[in-house]
Each structure stands twice: as structure tokens, then as C-alpha cells.
């Protein structure tokens, strides 16, 4: 079920079309990664979703409601630029932002304490945020966005420029929030973060969606998939039978002979590109039927970074 439906959204700044008739749907319970090179339109898209920018045309639907004003209390926003007050303590920062959503009295105090504990800042709750490290400020930024228990959290580059321990804590926090039923939209340039926490991904460029779905969906769309390197003990006739059988398998999209300097005279190898991991049993069966002995099977799949560069190009974006 959709929590956010974006339909034909367009936003321009003079002659620059930042978001170009973009449509995208975010399902409840997802951690949805949004990726794109610099200038792709990610920040403009996020600004339109949270209501900071008005679109020129198109609409964003929030659980069936067409106005962000009627639904904004369900959104927690963690902006890339820190949204905390340097002269306030961690406790008072969280308390201030939570009060904007109508929390009061004992419930407010309880929620603030829970948020501090969640991001690991209870021991420094009375310190001014100006005294915090970059990682602590990022965690405080997250705490300020979650105290009102939103249904949707939008995180824009939440781990930029911080230490590995704080990055790990934030990623664990994201997974914990999701396990509690919170939907997350997550933008970042760190591909390993998306691979670690996101179950769905959208790649945008020049204001357009160019791919969306699971990583496997996107690989299939690109004609990519898992690649197996299979080595067998083979004489020519038996090898040809094996090669033809594998090539005819429904799950296999490509088979190429592969020359390996380390393999012996009677050993041959091939690269097999396929869409499904369970093809391995069929490969072994094909070798057995041809009377061959499988010596080794290794597999790999393209990284998300490789997929991203394939979709958006390798030229520099400033």
C-alpha cells in the first residue's frame, strides 16, 4: 500500500527544470533509497514532498490526502543542513521541535527522554549542541525529527562527514525505526549505505526517474544479473554439449567461453550471466548429463555503484 504517491510533479527555477513531470510511489514499510548525481533533482523533490517548495504542476498524495498541510504531522524530516540550535542543549533542542507538533507536559518529557536514549545522547543531554562533534550533531538532528512518532521519515544525506561509529549508529537507528513500522525515504551518495538498509531504490537524473524497484529489478531492467564463472574438466565434444545446454536454459541470458591461464589442458571455463540464483542446479545437471566434472563455481553481481554509474554516466557533476 502506498504512503506517498507522486504524480507528474514538475518544479522549475527560471530556465532550469529541476523535477520534470516525475512520478514515483513509496510503499508503506519501505526503506526507499533515492539516488542521483549532483543536480539530479533529489533535494527539490524532497522539498516538494515535505511542503517546503510548491510544485509548478503535478501533485503529492499522502495516504489519500492531497494536501501536505493535512498530513505534515506524520512527517519527520532530517535535512542535510543541520536543523538544530547551537546555544540550546540536546534536551532543549528536542523538546522545542517536539512541542511544535503539539506534545505537552509529561508526554513531551517522556518522548524527549526516549529520543535521547534512542540516538545515544542521554549522557550529554544538558550540553549545548555547539560543543558536540559532527557525529553527535547528526544524531541530535535525527532525534529532533522522530520525537513526535512520525509515520514517514525523510532523511537527506544524514551521515555526510561523520565518524564511522556515528554512521553505524544512525544506520542501526534507521533499521530500528523501520522495524517499528516507520517508512523511510533515504537519500545519500554512499552506495554501501543504500545496499545495507534500503529494500527499494529509485535513481533519478535530470529531474526524471530512470530506474526504480529493488536492486534485482533494476539489474534485470538493465539486462544485468548474477554472473557465474564455471570451470569443468572437459574434452571438446562433451564441452560443446554442455555449452549448448546451458545456453538454452530459460534463466540464462548470456554464455561466453572464458580463458584462464591457470586451468589445465582438459579444463574449460565459461561465464554465465543469469537472472536467478537458483540456476546453479541446472548448470550442475547440464555438466553431469554431458559427463563432465565441475571443478569450481564462483559468482558475482554488479555493485550498486556500478549500476549507478551505468545508469547516470561517469562524467563529473559539479
Greatest alpha-carbon pair distance for the chain in Å reads 82
For CA atoms 167, 172, 176, 179, the dihedral sign is positive
Cell of 160: 555526510
Place of cell 555526510: 160
Task: Please check whether residue 48 is in contact with residue 60, taking contact to mean a CB–CB distance below 8 angstroms.
Answer: yes
State the DSSP code for 232: E
| pTM, entire model | 0.79
Give the pLDDT score at 118: 95
Cβ neighbours of 118 (radius 10 Å):
18
168 CB-near residues (< 8 Å, 6+ apart): none
Give the pLDDT score at 262: 63
pLDDT tens track for 176-225: 999 999 999 999 888 889 989 999 999 999 999 999 998 878 877 766 66
Domains along the chain? 2-214 (3.40.50.300), 225-301 (3.30.70.260)
pLDDT tens track for 122-176: 999 999 999 999 999 999 999 999 999 999 999 999 998 888 999 999 999 999 9
Cβ neighbours of 238 (radius 10 Å):
17
Task: Please check whether residue 194 is in contact with residue 171, taking contact to mean a CB–CB distance below 8 angstroms.
Answer: no
Task: Please check whether residue 6 is in contact with residue 25, taking contact to mean a CB–CB distance below 8 angstroms.
Answer: yes
pLDDT tens track for 86-111: 999 999 999 999 999 989 999 999 99
Cell of 173: 537507528
Give the pLDDT score at 11: 94
pLDDT tens track for 264-305: 677 888 888 876 667 888 888 988 888 888 888 887 777 788
State the DSSP code for 41: S
The percentage of the chain sitting over the pLDDT mark of 90, rounded to a whole number, equals 53
Task: Output the CA angle 14-15-16, nearest 5 degrees.
Answer: 95
Torsion of CA 77, 82, 84, 85, to 10 degrees: -150
pLDDT tens track for 247-272: 888 878 788 888 766 666 778 888 88
Amino acid at each position: 500500500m502506498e504512503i506517498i504517491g507522486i504524480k507528474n510533479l514538475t518544479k522549475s527555477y527560471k530556465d532550469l527544470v529541476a523535477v520534470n513531470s516525475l512520478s514515483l510511489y513509496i510503499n508503506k514499510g519501505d526503506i526507499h533509497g533515492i539516488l542521483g548525481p549532483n543536480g539530479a533533482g533529489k533535494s527539490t523533490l524532497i522539498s516538494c514532498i515535505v511542503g517546503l517548495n510548491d510544485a509548478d504542476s503535478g501533485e503529492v498524495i499522502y495516504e489519500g490526502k492531497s494536501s501536505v498541510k493535512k498530513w505534515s504531522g506524520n512527517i519527520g524530516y532530517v535535512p542535510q543542513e543541520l536543523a538544530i540550535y547551537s546555544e540550546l542543549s540536546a534536551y532543549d533542542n528536542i523538546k522545542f521541535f517536539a512541542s511544535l507538533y503539539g506534545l505537552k507536559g509529561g508526554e513531551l518529557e517522556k518522548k524527549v527522554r526516549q529520543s535521547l536514549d534512542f540516538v545515544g545522547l542521554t549522557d550529554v543531554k544538558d550540553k549545548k549542541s555547539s560543543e558536540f562533534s559532527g557525529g553527535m550533531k547528526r544524531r541530535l538532528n535525527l532525534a529532533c525529527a522522530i520525537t513526535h512518532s512520525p509515520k514517514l521519515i525523510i532523511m537527506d544525506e544524514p551521515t555526510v562527514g561523520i565518524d564511522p561509529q556515528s554512521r553505524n549508529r544512525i544506520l542501526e537507528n534507521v533499521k530500528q525505526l523501520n522495524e517499528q513500522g516507520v517508512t523511510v525515504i533515504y537519500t545519500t551518495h554512499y552506495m554501501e549505505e543504500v545496499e545495507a538498509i534500503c529494500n527499494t531504490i529509485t535513481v533519478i537524473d535530470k529531474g526524471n526517474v530512470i530506474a526504480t524497484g529493488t536492486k534485482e529489478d533494476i539489474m534485470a531492467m538493465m539486462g544485468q544479473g548474477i554472473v557465474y564463472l564455471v570451470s569443468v574438466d572437459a574434452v571438446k565434444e562433451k564441452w560443446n554439449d554442455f555449452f549448448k545446454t546451458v545456453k538454452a536454459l530459460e534463466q540464462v541470458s548470456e554464455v561466453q567461453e572464458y580463458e584462464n591461464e591457470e586451468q589445465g589442458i582438459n579444463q574449460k571455463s565459461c561465464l554465465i550471466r543469469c537472472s536467478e540464483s537458483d540456476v546453479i542446479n541446472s548448470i550442475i545437471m547440464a555438466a553431469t548429463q554431458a559427463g563432465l566434472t565441475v571443478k569450481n563455481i564462483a559468482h558475482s553481481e554488479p555493485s550498486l555503484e556500478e549500476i549507478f554509474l551505468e545508469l547516470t554516466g561517469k562524467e563529473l557533476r559539479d
